[in-house]
Structures are given as C-alpha cells and as structure tokens.
Amino acid sequence: MADTAAKATPAGGFPGRVLDQVRPDSPRTAELLTSLIRHLHEFVDETRPTPDEWRYGLDFLARASQFCTADRHEFILLSDLLGHSSHVDELSNDGPGTPSTVEGPFHTPAPRRELGAIIATGAEWERGGWTVLRGTVTGSDGEPVPGATIDVWQSDDRGRYDVQDEAQPPGNLRALLTAGADGGYWLRTVRPSSYPVPVDGPGGELLRAMNRHPMRPAHIHAEIRADGYRPLTTHLFVAGDQYLASDAAFGVRDGLILPFARCDDPAAVTRFRMPGPFYDVIFDFRLAPARR
Ligand SMILES: [Fe+2]
C-alpha cells in the first residue's frame, strides 16, 4: 500500500480561501483561537505529555507539512481520518437536499466533458466494470436545475486516482459536466473500487498508532454548483461494499449508498452506446436553496 504516494509535484503553496470572519481583527478569529487554546491546555492538563511526547507531536505536524504537494494535502487527510472533516461538514450542511460529505484530498481541476462522455480514458475502460451514471439535478422542491455544474472524480477499478498513478492519463476519471435544459446529466465510466488512503506519510502513521485499517468504501465524488443554490459536495457509494460500516474517513451517509444494478438489456446497451452489459446507476442530486 506504500505505493499510493502522489506523483512528485512541487508544492504550489496553499493560499487558502479568504474568509472575512477570520481576518486578524475579527471577533470570530478571537473566538476560534481562544477556544482552541483553551481546549489544548485542557488536553495538556488531562494527558500530562512529557516534553519528548510534546516534541514528537510537533515533529509529526512538521512531517505532515513536508508531505503536502500540489496534488496531496496531508492535513486534509489527517482531518478526514480523525473524523473532524465529517463533523464540520455535518454541522455546516443540515438543510434539505442530498446529504453532503467530505471532499477528501484528491480533488483537482477536472476537464470539461460533454454529457454522456466516457470519463474513463485510461486502461480501466478495457478491463470492464462499465457503468452509466445518470439522473437529474433538482432543487429541494424537485424543480429541475438547468445548467448546473457537476464536477465528478473517482478512483479506477483498482482503487487509484490519476494523481497517484503514472499509468493513468491526467484528468482520467474526472469530468466537469453541465446539466441539460431539463437538469439531466449522464456519463459513462467504470465501477470504482474501495481503496486505502495514502499510508506512506503521517496519515498512515496515525492509523497504525490507532490500529485502524486505511480503507475507504468504493465511491464516486461529486460537487454540484448552480446559481441560487447551496453548493453540494458529496459521494455516491457502491452498495454492498465491505467497508461501508468502517470508512476510514467517516464519510458514509444514509441516502448516498446506491445499487450498481446490472443491466443486460441489449436495447439499453445500444441506447447508452456501451460496449456490453453495464451497471446502471441512477441518482438525482437535490440542492438546498442558497443561504441568504
Ligand atoms: Fe475518494
């Protein structure tokens, strides 16, 4: 599993998003920092770390920083593995619509593709596992959302993302689609596989220290954006995956586990221009209204 390291790419820096509420002189900054410092002191009081243990923790954070590249953000991985990404997400997205879940560390800008495109542009398409993913983007009242942007990314059938695998062409198994006039979308791909999170860095060090497995259940990532609606970041999980109940990133939500139904109907094979029988996956993304 140590070969899950990202391709070596120079660190591009992580400027982050500019948030008005965390500017240096804002009350929110003071609230966040004061609470963080108080909880860290409570941690020290409770666990009484030795100076060597405290230094080990600081060195761990330094190593995590050294593992970050343009394609790999080790702190997102650590946040995912500790359940904090999922916790923040749950508290921030409790409105109507499709459940959201963590973004994960493998999102990169996707190539624009047409509706119906084959997004599996590497050798995985020849290996089979053909899948059609289709549905409609709607609002919370069921109204179609024409022109919604659908950003999808996934691992291949061997559990690898393009940024981890020199054999995959850049942008493989990624797409930026635009929903049609009826809110409809569809794409052709391969069935993803469960996969281990990268364990060659501090994330793996953390899992080993906690005696936890590194596996995530098979899934397709999606981010949906449309004017007037709240952006949605979510996953579509493959029903029946053995890791659904023990996702290393705590990302599984009710309502996001989909049957990959086998379709052998020759008429459907022809209609979707598939090479043979395929998994037919239907999912409607339901967006919550934008916050005022
Ligand atoms: Fe993923």
**Average pLDDT of the chain to the nearest whole number:** 92
Q: Above pLDDT 90, what percent of the chain? A: 83
pLDDT, mean of residues 109-114: 97
Distance 265 CA to ligand 1 centre (A): 30
Cα of 267 from ligand 1 centre, angstroms: 32
Ligand 1 center to residue 266 CA distance, Å?
32
DSSP string across 251-291: ---TT-EE--EEE--HHHHHHTT-SSSEEEEE--EEEPBPP
pLDDT digits (tens, 9 = 90+) for 210-250: 999 999 999 999 999 999 999 999 999 999 999 999 999 99
Place of tokens 């059609």: 132
Report the C-alpha dihedral over residues 113, 118, 121, 124, rounded to 10 degrees. 150
The pLDDT of residue 2: 33
Mean pLDDT for 55-67 is 96
Calpha distance 56→62 (Å, rounded): 10
Q: Is the pLDDT of residue 128 over 70?
A: yes
Vertex 137 angle, CA 128 and 120, to 5°: 20
Distance 153 CA to ligand 1 centre (A): 8
Return the pLDDT at 18. Answer: 60
Residue 215 confidence (pLDDT): 98
CA of 90 to the centre of ligand 1 (A): 18
Q: pTM for the complete prediction?
A: 0.87
